[in-house]
Every structure is written in C-alpha cells, then in structure tokens.
Amino acid sequence: MTATLPQPLPSREGAVLDLRRRLLLVSYHFPPGQAAGALRWEKLAACAVERGWGVDVVTLDPASLPVVDWSRLAALPAGIRVFGVPARVHPAERVVRLLSRSYRLLRPAARRRADQRRGGASSGADVWTLAGLVRRQQVRWRATAIRDYVRAFQAWLDFAREGVWSRAAGLTALRLAQPGVHEAIVTSGPPHMVHQAGRLVARETGLPHVMDMRDPWSLVPGLPVSVASPAWFWLAARYERSAVERAALVVANTDPLRIAMQRLYPTARGRIVAVLNGCDEEQMPSSPATRRFTIAYAGSIYIDRNPRIVFRAAARVVRELGLTADQFGFDFIGSVDSFGDVPLDVIAQEEGLAGYVRTRAALPRRQALALLAQATMLLSLPQDIPVCIPSKLFEYMQFDAWLLVLATRDSASELLLRGTAADVVEPEDLDRISQVLRTRYSQFATGVRPRRVATNDRFSRRAQARVLFDALEHCVRPGSATR
C-alpha cells in the first residue's frame, strides 16, 4: 500500500502544481517562519522558479513556531510547495529538563544569588563571557572535572536534538521524491544536521546533494557554555566530513568561508563554491524627510554585538555638539532588550545616553524595513565569526542611509564593503567611531543626505543565484551549458 503523501501548506491562491524538473529543499528556516535564516532560500527559491525549477520545501511546521508571517508564504511564486514537519523532542531531553527543574528547586537561594552575581555584566567584562560563550581555544577536557562530563553529554544532546527533526524532515523529503521529477536534494543549515538528512535522501534516491552552509559548522570560533566540550567539535567534524565527502556541491555564503572549507577539505576543493546572500530587487520603503539624525539597528545583540562602545562614542559627540534627543538618537529593533543581562536603557544611561535610545520588539519584515527607511544611519555591530557577513547588512545597503559597520580588517564584512562609501571601523576604535558620527552628523546638519551603497550588480542576489544554479545544473547534468 502506497503511503499518503504529505500535504503542502496553503500558499498563494490559484498556485498551480508544476511537475517540471524540481528541487527538494530541506531547511529548518523558511517562510512563514520569520527567522533571519529563512530569507536566503525564500529569495533563492524564487530565483530557482525563474530559472525553470520547481521547488518542494521541507521546513519546520508553523504550528511549532511562536510567530509566523503568512504574507511571506503567500508571496512565493507558483511552483514552490512548502511542507511542515513538527518540532521533535529527544527522549533524553525530557529527562534533562526534569533534572534541571529539580536542581533549580533544590539549589539553595543563596547559591542562586551568588551565581547571578558572578554572571552579571560589567563594562569591562569579556563579551564572550557576558554572552555565556567559551572561545574555541579555551575549550578543554579534564578527566577529574564533573562539569566537563556534563558538558560532553550536553554536546551529544545538542546534535541528537537537531538530529531528531532532521531525520523526520529527511523521511518527509523521501516520501516526496519522485523519480524523473526531482533532480537534486538541497539542504540549508544551521541547524546543520539537516545535511545528514540530505545524505540520507541522496543515498536512497541517487539524487546529487547540494549542501548550503549559511554559517560555519566545525569551524565555529566558540560555543555556549553548556556544550563547551571537545566532544562538540569532534561530533561537528565527524558529521561535517561525512556530508562534505558525499556532497555533489558545497555552498559557502562568503569567500572567506569557502577558502577555509577548501583548506579543511582539499580533496573537495573543486566542489566548494561561494554564494553570498546579496541584495534583492525589491522596492524599499521611501526615506521620509526628518530633522532627527537616527541611527538604527535591526536584529539581535549577543556574543560580541555589544553596543556599549557605540553609545560611548555617541555620548562624546552629543556632549561636544550639545545635541538633544530630538536631534540625535538610536532605534534598536528586534531581540535588543539587553546585552549580557543588562537592559539596553541601563547601558545607555551608564554611557551618558539616557533618553537617546529607543527599543522595539521584533516586527514582520515589511514593518521592520519601514522603520529602517526612517533612519539616517544604519549600524552593524561586530560579527563574532569573521568569515561570515550579517545577512541584515545586505538589506542595509539598499537604503538611502549612511552605514556604520564595526568589522575587523580582512573580515568577510570588511572585504565586502572595501571601496564603498560605507564607514567600516575596527570594533574597539572609539576615536574613529566618534569621528564618523561627528562627521556624518555635521553633513546631515548642513543638508547633505546619504545615498545607498548597493548601486551595481556586485551586490545583487540575482547575480549570486546565477553562480549557484550554474553550479547546481552542472552537478545535475555535467557539461550542460549555463544560462
């Protein structure tokens, strides 16, 4: 008896199923989910349809998401079907949750308060510590430390947790796969265990596997404290290696990540390419006339995305120029309430910017873009992984706004923006940040208005999509002409 095929999520009214050549895509993040990771393949899938491909997407079921944006699903072109797989809980995780709750109940209140004091943030604390992370070079194993055994178990559970959903998603993709219709299986991570699902589908169907890495896997520079064990890096290297060795194509989302992966896997060098996120061909909200110099930031603040030094530089400019909050200030949008457990307004007050900083919760994408359009300057805080580019940066580049990007020399972000009008500054250079803010405000006060950075095909997602689908089609039909 043939198993019943999964039913797709409701999409655009009137969309017609097209059984032309199709791709199977497994990605935990995809519309109607609103996570930043959903945007890459939301746009690339639309490019695939223009290229002549249909796409069947296996993603997290919307019922498992806290918030959804159905308008993004409805806006997808005909030819894209989306299938939801509910979140899964690993049996071991239930036990861990029970033990954790019991420990919190039994732990003396005095001990809890001491832990909170030790974990509290201060202006001089290491930002990785404030974010609850351990740098790679500090991760070690001590046979006599009980804590290290706990972390090793948590590291295993981290992969097991991802693996539960990924296996279910892979089985769904297998049920969808139709010989003669689907021509490749594409997996996009993180979560990176989806690449193991891609291996499964490729092995069972003979389809070429395209492994899309939106972030590094085994090459991450650090880990959350709870999983900071050599076991995590060992597992990551093991699963990554098995996926890379069998993948027909490995896609990195920056050139520095491509180079790093090629060094790590020299035998796969010719199968590893770079496909940046890129700027989309979409109408951005217009920039209204305003008398306030507003610096906007959208996204999350965590790890080393610490706004404190920018606030300190801004406070210096506010004092020097005698600016009021009606003339100058910040708008933060997203998961931005606090950094290192310190509320953002407290950080602003400590740095002399009380009343100059406004925060807003995460918004649907179109609403967030409308707020960014009102800004004079858009801020990109440091990226904790030098080989990555914050995806929000490509959206920033499409607005008529000055860009202040905190990035180290030769990082992926600095290389991307080298030679443009963006102000790229070393993250700890207080004097230079102050100078940029002072200069741009002075220009603004004399009537000068910024222009967008993305002015040519160099930053286009469509151009990047051509690179991807040329390479993918070569895997499907070796020797075929590119379009």
| Percent of all residues in the chain with a pLDDT value above 70, rounded to a whole number | 87
Task: Establish if 482 belongs to a structural domain.
Answer: no
CA–CA gap between residue 155 and residue 158 (Å, rounded): 5
**Domain boundaries, position 162:** 22-87+157-278+462-476
For residues 205 and 299, membership in a common domain is answered with no
For residues 417 and 451, membership in a common domain is answered with yes
Burial 196-214 (b: 16+ CB within 10 A, else e): bbbbbbbeebebbbbbbbb
DSSP 3-state assignment of 272? Answer: strand
Tokens of 311: 């606030």
**Structure confidence at residue 414 (pLDDT):** 96
Across the range 101-106, mean pLDDT stands at 51
Q: Which of 78-92, 143-157, 248-262 has the highest mean pLDDT?
A: 248-262
Task: Establish if 121 belongs to a structural domain.
Answer: no
Nearest to 282 by CA among 481, 13, 43: 43
**Structure confidence at residue 113 (pLDDT):** 46
Range of weakest confidence among 225-239, 322-336, 380-394: 380-394
Nearest to 459 by CA among 414, 394, 411: 394
The arrangement of strands across the sheet holding 293-300 comes to 357-360, 328-335, 293-300, 377-380, 402-406, 423-425
pTM: 0.85
**Tens-place pLDDT, residues 401-445:** 999 999 999 999 999 999 999 999 999 999 999 999 999 999 999
**Structure confidence at residue 483 (pLDDT):** 41
Tokens of 34: 């609103």
Task: Establish if 147 belongs to a structural domain.
Answer: no
Q: Which of 187-201, 327-341, 446-460 has the highest mean pLDDT?
A: 187-201
* Torsion of the alpha carbons at 421, 423, 426 and 428, rounded to the nearest 10: 180
Please determine, for residue 222, whether its predicted confidence score (pLDDT) is greater than 80.
yes
**Structure confidence at residue 313 (pLDDT):** 97
Helix (H) or strand (E) holding 135: strand 133-135
For residues 357 and 299, membership in a common domain is answered with yes
What's the Cα-to-Cα distance from 388 to each of 395, 400, 450, rounded to whole Å?
Answer: 15, 24, 26
**Structure confidence at residue 465 (pLDDT):** 96
| CATH number of residue 199's parent domain | 3.40.50.2000
**Tens-place pLDDT, residues 31-69:** 999 888 999 999 999 999 999 999 999 999 999 998 899
Task: Establish if 123 belongs to a structural domain.
Answer: no
Report residue 103's pLDDT band, with 50, 70 and 90 as the boundaries: very low
Task: Establish if 170 belongs to a structural domain.
Answer: yes
Please determine, for residue 121, whether its predicted confidence score (pLDDT) is greater than 50.
no
482 HSE (CA, 13 A, CB side): 10
Report residue 289's pLDDT band, with 50, 70 and 90 as the boundaries: confident
For residues 299 and 383, membership in a common domain is answered with yes
Strands 338-339 and 342-343 turn out to be: antiparallel
**Tens-place pLDDT, residues 308-351:** 999 999 999 999 999 999 999 999 999 898 887 889 999 999 99
CA–CA gap between residue 342 and residue 123 (Å, rounded): 10
Q: How many domains does the chain have?
A: 2
Task: Establish if 57 belongs to a structural domain.
Answer: yes
DSSP 3-state assignment of 124? Answer: coil
